[in-house]
Amino acid sequence: MKKVFSLLILLLVLAGCSTNETSNYHYIFVGESEHWKAKYDVEGTEVWKDEEGNRISYSHEDSYEFLLEYKGTLTKLASFNKLEYSFRTSSGGGSSKLNLDYSLQDLQFTRRGSSINGAKLSKDEVIKVIVKWGNNKEKIELQSKK
């Protein structure tokens, strides 16, 4: 019984010396231009590990979904033949080039991604989006949806 009690005390002491602090976040950025709407949705988790009052490690994971939507009709969009878009955040970005035709089924284009131990996106940042289709070009600034 004495050994069990001693083991319990030891576990409590060790548990008190090492702690993990976890923080989850979910940010949504939205914006639009004359012909397009865009949304950037990001969720992430940060973990700080402390031992004996000293922060010794940090880790971060996140995943995002970028959604671009044309405000016009499928027929009109398909007539442009090509679509290019890009988005840029402080922690990265992405781009796509698509060939469009009359078999196009949707006005929405989605891109997903994730990272481990990359930079964390700030809730207050502005995400820059550029869309090119046919001979047209529009810029969109996505801002945090409060």
Give the pLDDT confidence score for residue 17 in this predicted structure.
Answer: 56
Q: What is the pLDDT of residues 46-76, one digit of tens each?
A: 988 887 777 678 888 999 999 999 999 999 9
Task: Mean pLDDT check: name the lowest of 49-58, 111-120, 136-145.
Answer: 49-58
| End-to-end Cα separation, the chain, in angstroms | 56
Structural tokens at position 4: 């069990």
Q: How confident is the model at residue 18 (pLDDT cuts 50, 70, 90)?
A: low
Tell me the β-bridge partners of 60: 46
Question: Is residue 30 pLDDT above 80, yes or no?
Answer: yes
Within a domain: 127: yes
pLDDT recorded at residue 48: 85
Domain of 84? 19-144
4 part of a folded domain: no
Do the Cβ atoms of 85 and 131 come closer than 8 Å?
yes
Q: Please indicate, yes or no, if residue 84 is contained in any of the structural domains.
A: yes
Return mean pLDDT, the chain. 86
- Does residue 2 belong to any structural domain of this protein? no
In this prediction, residues 83-112 reach a mean pLDDT of 90
* Total number of domains constituting the chain: 1
pLDDT on residue 11: 42
Give the residue-averaged pLDDT of 74-88.
93
Would you tell me how many other CB atoms lie within 10 Å of the CB of residue 24?
8
Q: Vertex 139, ends 120 and 26: CA angle to 5°?
A: 30
- Asked if residue 40 belongs to a domain, the reply is yes
